[in-house]
Amino acid sequence: MLLCGTGSGRAEVSFNLSTGLINMATPARNHVWVGTETGILKGINLVKKQANNYTEVSSLTRDQEVNVMCFGDPQETEVLLGCRDGTVRVFNTEKAKFTEFHECRGGEGVFRGIGVLDNAIVTCVESGLLKLWKEGSTENVEVQVGPKVEKMRLCDTQRHKVATGGKENDLKIWDLQRPEEPIFRAKNVMNDWLDLRVPIWIRDLDFIPDSDKVVTCTSYHQVRIYDPCSPKRRPVLETVFDEDPLTALSVTPDGRSVVVGSSHGNMAVIDLRKGRLLCSLKGNAGSVRSIQCHKSMPIVASCGLDRFLRLHSLTDKKLLHKVRK
């Protein structure tokens, strides 16, 4: 199962895959779940190339726009949808219906990240309020991570560790067990050749597996790696891709490379060890808004403003599936 988190004007996808190949033995199942800015949750069957709506279209409003998504349990039977109106809807993929609704309002702006930690929902909004919502508790942890947040993401292996970043809000890593201060606060790079300050605008970020490092992409087409162990707190590696803003990224299962996408629809795989371009992934016609690599298989999913979901192979760069959402 894969999940691509997105924000305003984007679509989100999650899909079930058997080991090695798409499970052709179960053509009736939905392999992909897509949430859109119109608030619709769709189940997509990659075998039949069909999309089914799981939201009552007649009752939809603009406030139900899906901003972020995550899985609610290790078995991936629940998908959490963070909506523009500040609610979190829980969809059960086995029952094929919404089973829970949570009020998670606080701060200003739309959700920029969502996760689950010890049965508590973790959310972060654009204004910088990161909050743990524990059911039945009146004392929920709140952290101010700074304004103009673009992305909040929980670490897959250390769930209490969270990374945040945004516009003029450089990378911070937080330990939600000790949330008073970030455990890492990035320092901006040196001034440019004109001795001018380099602007900051993180658009997406991800933890690199089997390490403490975090990779980010920016609106200034930079891909940067940060190592919390580095005393300088500046990027330990930086490279650039394309000439347009980078809008999304996802680290490959082996942790050796990262897939990035731009606002012009270009996608590429970049080596995280040397910063060089490994290959380009063709087919996108609109701005890339969400990318997610499979946790164990060499497959990457992407979606964007052209209303298509695409699955690429990371081994031979082939476009495996293209389905209209």
30-66: pLDDT as tens digits: 777 778 888 988 887 778 887 888 888 877 888 899 9
**pLDDT at residue 1 greater than cutoff 70:** no
Confidence bin at 144 (pLDDT 50/70/90): very high
Describe the strand order of the beta sheet including 97-103 as a list of residue ranges: 66-71, 78-83, 87-92, 97-103
Dist. CA 178–CA 165, nearest whole Å: 19
Q: How many CB atoms lie within 10 A of CB 263?
A: 20
Give the C-alpha distances (Å, rounded to integers) separating 61 from 7, 151, 310. Answer: 17, 24, 27
In angstroms, the CA 310 to CA 2 distance is 13
pTM: 0.90
4 pLDDT higher than 60? no
- pLDDT above 90 for 277: yes
pLDDT at 307: 85
Domain that holds residue 213: 2-324
What domain count does the chain have? Answer: 1
Cβ atoms within 10 A of the Cβ of 143, count? 20
Looking at residue 17, what is its pLDDT?
46
**Closest by CA position to 4, among listed 321, 312, 257, 309:** 309
| DSSP codes joined into one string, 35-53 | E-TTS-EEEEETTTTEEEE
- CATH number of the structural domain spanning residue 123: 2.130.10.10
Contact of 11 with 289, CB cutoff 8 Å: yes
Question: What count of other Cβ atoms lies within 10 Å of the Cβ of residue 136?
Answer: 4
